[in-house]
Amino acid sequence: MSVPVIAMQCNYAYLAKLFTSLKSLLYHNSGLKVYILNPDIPQEWFKNVNQQLNSIGDSVIDLKVDQSVFADSQVSFSNRLNTMTFNKLLLPKILPGEKVLYLDSDVIINHSITPLLNLDFSEPVAAVKDLNSPDSEINAGVVYFNNPVINQQQGIVDQLLSASKRPGLKNADQSVLSQFFYHQAKFLPLTYNYEVGIEGYAVYHHIDRIISELARISDPVIIHFDSDDKPWKLLSTVRYRELWWYYNGMSIRDIIDHVTLGTNKPQ
């Protein structure tokens, strides 16, 4: 049986946030191969993490990406976005023979994602519809890339990169992926990319649909802090803030003990 492949991305400045997401992933799921797309994380960090994870069969792989390829990419409206967000567009080229589950670095995984990893699908991508644009965009925070299928479109990565440089992108890489794959996507239930932080926007703009959709799910599998109100900010009031800090405070020893001994999450 093949090892499930995960991809994440960050630069060194964002590493503590990614590490929190990574720890939440490994706490609930083992035997994973996790690629970290990055320009500047020291190799010693990977060495230290892998020495500890070796006993439970996980590996975290350093995958350097030259950011100059995104020099003219359009990062849209938000000051929380930078060109790092476009790294995921390279996954069909970097890992062409794999199905790769991409996770943003502002998510936490709160349950096993084995059912998602075992998903059998023939579409180019599997993703959740974006709550604010459900009729036109997938949310790019969690995307399952079916790279062998994507690569049936000749030159697809070059096309994605070209599209990222067009002025007027509404949501950076998300708009690019949606342009190419929305009408070919397999749509996943909201529990696999549960957007928190969007509630304030929905209340202000009287979008009752968003509020009711979020209310239907009480215990999401993947929680995505998809707003400027990030849980690590001093004055954050976002839901699940305390859960993010639970995982932030975990050590790799906690993860190993849970996987091998079945211990509970630290309180």
159, exposed or middle or buried, with CB in 10 Å at 0-12, 13-18, 19+? middle
Mean pLDDT of the 127-134 span = 95
> Tell me: the pLDDT tens digits for 24-75?
999 999 999 999 999 999 999 999 999 999 999 999 999 999 988 888 887 6
pTM above threshold 0.85: yes
CA 47 and chain centroid, separation: 23
- pLDDT tens digits along 138-155: 999 999 999 999 999 999
Instruction: Give whole-number Cα distances, 249 to 28, 48, 111, 226, 228, in Å.
Output: 15, 18, 17, 21, 22
| 3-state SS assignment for residue 5 | strand
